[in-house]
Amino acid sequence: MRRRFTFANVVAVIALLFSMSGAAIAARHYLITSTRQISPKVLRELRGRNGQRGATGQSGAAGPQGATGSQGAAGPQGVTGPQGPAGPGLMAYASNKGGCALENELGNFCYPSSPSSGSFTASANGTCLVSASAQIEEVSGVTSNGPFFRIAIKEGATEKNDGLYGHYFEGSAGVESIDLSRTMQVAVSAGNTYEFGAYFGAPTGPWHGKFADYLVTYTCFAT
């Protein structure tokens, strides 16, 4: 045995001892597979600071529209506002008859009394289409021309006739004169009161004091 105890054998033995020592050292190293294996104090030390915010990425494509939700409850009713100005439309309408004695030789303004006076207040600026017709009673045997006929217009307390050429009544072999009629447009202003009738101008001679019957119809529209 002494003869086999050589330098090579010594080196081999030393190498064997180192390898065994290295295995023992290696055996003290561990593979970490969970943070539970690390001390909380060490974990706190391992935390780094937050980095800078990255650039915003591109917007993605719009997703599909969702289903329509159920209708919500009705809200409270709002306060009623003031009434606005009247728009275009019918303001007034009337068809009235009347009669009057032609006692003024200069001219007679006559206004209906049945079924009402026919006066009205315009709710807006507008236009009235006025028609009037009349005849004079008890004119048998009268051959001269009678009074001329126009539409009477009363605005407030002011009276006037339509101002256009008026046709004259003529005598007749019968009890009553021929009928005369005319139609015209009359402008009206908001807030003013109007009344339409018949005007008999200059009933002189045998026509003075005669009695006239008439019918007045008007339809007024706001503009």
Q: What is the mean pLDDT of residues 52-60?
A: 83
Domains of the chain: 89-222 (2.60.120.1400)
Please give the residue that has the higher pLDDT: either 68 or 189.
189
Phi/psi of residue 23, nearest 5 degrees? -65, -35
Six token digits for residue 17: 């001892």
Do 88 and 223 meet the contact criterion of CB atoms below 8 Å apart? yes
Going by DSSP bridges, is the β-strand pair 120-121/180-188 parallel, antiparallel, or unpaired? unpaired
Is the pTM above the cut of 0.75? no
Q: Which residues pair with 134 in a beta bridge?
A: 180, 214
pLDDT tens readout for residues 123-163: 999 999 999 999 999 998 888 889 999 999 999 999 999 99
User: In this predicted structure, what is the pLDDT of residue 147?
Assistant: 96
DSSP 136-198: ESS-BT--S---EEEEEEEETTEEEE--S--EEP--BSSSSPPPEEEEEEEEE-TT-EEEEEE
Closest CA to 210 of 109, 99, 96, 117: 99
pLDDT tens-digit readout, 3-21: 554 555 544 545 554 455 5
Q: How many CA within 13 A on the CB side of residue 165?
A: 1
Compare 18 and 50 and report the one with higher pLDDT.
50
